[in-house]
């Protein structure tokens, strides 16, 4: 089973087709929404056309449809029951005999967290209510509510994956999670103490951990992706690409580095620095590996050309990512890709490279580089004239 593409559905279509509002009421609300920049749903509620409870039910249904968890026709039928019987969306879906894999997977995670002592039954009940109403994964909801921390939730999700793959038993999962909480260990370390190390990989770094080391995803992003991967039966990397957190090229590079860690050709920390360098500079992967291994990644705080062009508003994020993907995967450099595509004019590139050269030498700070470039873009004077006028380089004779 795979749900690789989310379904687009407008809240207005749901409201009108389910009879929660009329087409005329929708027509009245849209111009006000456009004029005030307020969401159309809020306009409908404030106008008295729609109750707050019905609006929340429609938003929840919209979220489930977008995640391919609920069919549009079934959502409309459920919302009609919501209006007719004044019940919640969950109850309406139950009456229609709908049993979502989303609920099943979520409840399994909740049971595991409860059994391991990570949360109380009351905590879990409140989290599930927020989970069902918002459409967000349970793990993310519980972290946002402060019920559990990221490490505990990630461990529980990892245990769920290992259980599904039959690499550990239920009792090993629960005991391992209890050790995670008691001794602040990773799940793998806990399982090793329990004698389960022969069933799991211990010689490599997990993909999500590598991406976090590189600063490309946050813990919250990772938790959501792991939980979504459990439901969709898709690898976490493809989930992260699907939601736009990383590109296919980044995933390919991360998997190569993950393999190198497994083969002990590079340390996990260095692998993270390599991936970070590739995404910051557009450097070819092999070149980035050589540079990090030689320098130990000591230049990771240095301003790079892609970041400078983006900070100055000279190149959009999508164009930047495309250029980095091209340069990091082929023989051309980031600079060559930018020049060939005509993304930034020649004089601006020269000025930027001059400032970055001085920055690399330690003669200009990041703030000075940005200030000098902003002056250049406003005046189009020669960059050395601007730098000399600011007293940052000697005046030329």
pLDDT tens for residues 70-79? 778 888 999 9
Q: What is the mean pLDDT of residues 5-33?
A: 83
Q: Which range is least confidently modeled, 149-153, 154-158, 187-191, 216-220? A: 216-220
308/313 Cα distance (integer angstroms): 9
pLDDT beyond 50 at 99:
yes
Where residue 1 falls among pLDDT bands split at 50, 70, 90? very low
Answer yes or no: do 48 and 86 share one domain: yes
Answer yes or no: do 67 and 89 share one domain: yes
Answer yes or no: do 39 and 125 share one domain: no
Answer yes or no: do 294 and 387 share one domain: no
The gap from C-alpha 31 to its chain's centroid, in whole angstroms, comes to 34
Q: What is the pLDDT of residue 15?
A: 92
Q: Based on the structure, what is the number of domains in the chain?
A: 4
Query: Which of 13-22, 148-157, 260-269 holds the top average pLDDT?
Result: 13-22
Q: What is the mean pLDDT of residues 277-298?
A: 84
- End position of a domain, from candidates 266, 285, 301: 301
The verdict on residue 369 lying in a domain is yes
Q: What is the mean pLDDT of residues 330-338?
A: 87
Answer yes or no: do 81 and 107 share one domain: no
The verdict on residue 320 lying in a domain is yes
The verdict on residue 318 lying in a domain is yes
Q: Which domain holds residue 367?
A: 303-397
The verdict on residue 377 lying in a domain is yes
Answer yes or no: do 89 and 111 share one domain: no
C-beta separation of 168 from 200 below 8 A: yes
Answer yes or no: do 61 and 105 share one domain: no
Residue 101: strand, helix, or coil: helix
The verdict on residue 76 lying in a domain is yes
**DSSP per-residue string spanning 308-361:** HHHHTTSS-HHHHHHHHHHHHHSSS-HHHHHHHTT-S-HHHHHHHHHHHHHHHT
Structure tokens at 380: 């189009």
Where residue 2 falls among pLDDT bands split at 50, 70, 90? very low
Nearest alpha carbon to residue 160 among 133, 137, 135: 137
The verdict on residue 356 lying in a domain is yes
Q: What is the pLDDT of residue 311?
A: 83
- End position of a domain, from candidates 248, 271, 301: 301
The per-residue pLDDT of the chain, averaged, comes to 82
Is 167 or 120 the better-scoring residue by pLDDT? 120
Residue 10: strand, helix, or coil: coil
Q: What is the pLDDT of residue 397?
A: 47
Nearest alpha carbon to residue 199 among 147, 239, 146, 161: 161
Answer yes or no: do 245 and 216 share one domain: yes
pLDDT beyond 90 at 34:
no
Answer yes or no: do 168 and 78 share one domain: no
Answer yes or no: do 86 and 62 share one domain: yes
Q: What is the pLDDT of residue 394?
A: 86
Q: What is the pLDDT of residue 4?
A: 40
Answer yes or no: do 132 and 154 share one domain: yes
> Sign of the CA dihedral 335, 338, 344, 346?
positive
130/147 Cα distance (integer angstroms): 13
3-state secondary structure 176-242: HHHHHHHHCCCHHHHHHHCCCHHHCCCCCCCHHHHHHHCCCCCHHHHHHHHHHHHHHCCCHHHHHHH
Answer yes or no: do 258 and 314 share one domain: no
Q: What is the mean pLDDT of residues 363-370?
A: 89
Residue 71: strand, helix, or coil: coil
The verdict on residue 119 lying in a domain is yes
- End position of a domain, from candidates 80, 97, 114: 97
C-beta separation of 148 from 116 below 8 A: no
The verdict on residue 56 lying in a domain is yes
């Amino acid at each position: 089973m795979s749900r690789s593409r989310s379904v687009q559905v407008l809240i207005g279509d749901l409201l009108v087709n389910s009879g929660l509002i009329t087409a005329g009421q929708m027509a009245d609300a849209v111009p006000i929404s456009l004029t005030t920049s307020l969401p159309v749903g809020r306009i409908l509620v404030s106008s008295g056309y729609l109750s707050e409870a019905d609006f929340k039910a429609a938003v929840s249904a919209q979220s489930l449809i977008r995640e391919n968890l609920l069919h549009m026709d079934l959502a409309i039928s459920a919302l009609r029951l919501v209006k007719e019987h004044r019940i919640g969306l969950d109850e309406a879906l139950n009456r229609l005999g709908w049993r979502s894999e989303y609920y099943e997977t979520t409840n399994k995670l909740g049971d595991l967290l409860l059994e391991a002592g990570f949360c109380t039954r009351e905590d879990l009940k409140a989290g599930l209510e927020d989970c069902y109403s918002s459409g967000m994964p349970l793990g993310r909801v519980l972290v946002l509510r402060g019920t559990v921390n990221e490490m505990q939730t990630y461990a529980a999700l990892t245990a769920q994956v290992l259980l599904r793959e039959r690499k550990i038993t239920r009792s090993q999962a629960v005991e391992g999670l209890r050790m995670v909480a008691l001794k602040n260990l990773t799940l793998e370390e806990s399982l090793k103490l329990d004698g389960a190390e022969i069933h799991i990989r211990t010689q490599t770094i997990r993909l999500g951990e590598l991406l976090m080391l590189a600063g490309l995803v946050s813990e919250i992003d990772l938790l959501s992706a792991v939980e979504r991967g459990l439901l969709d039966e898709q690898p976490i990397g493809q989930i992260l690409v699907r939601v736009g957190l990383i590109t296919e090229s980044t995933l390919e590079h991360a998997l190569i580095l993950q393999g190198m860690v497994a083969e002990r050709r590079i340390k996990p920390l260095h692998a993270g620095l390599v991936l970070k360098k590739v995404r910051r500079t557009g450097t070819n992967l092999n070149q980035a590996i050589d540079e990090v291994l030689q320098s130990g990644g000591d230049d990771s705080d240095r301003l790079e050309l892609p970041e400078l062009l983006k900070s100055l508003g000279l190149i959009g994020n999508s164009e930047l990512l495309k250029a980095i993907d091209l340069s990091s995967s082929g023989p051309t450099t980031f600079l060559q890709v930018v020049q060939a595509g005509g993304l930034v004019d020649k004089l601006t590139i020269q000025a930027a490279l001059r400032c970055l050269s001085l920055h690399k030498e330690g003669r200009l700070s990041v703030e000075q580089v940005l200030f000098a470039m902003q002056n250049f873009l406003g005046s189009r004077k020669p960059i050395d004239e601007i730098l000399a006028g600011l007293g940052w380089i000697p005046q030329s004779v």
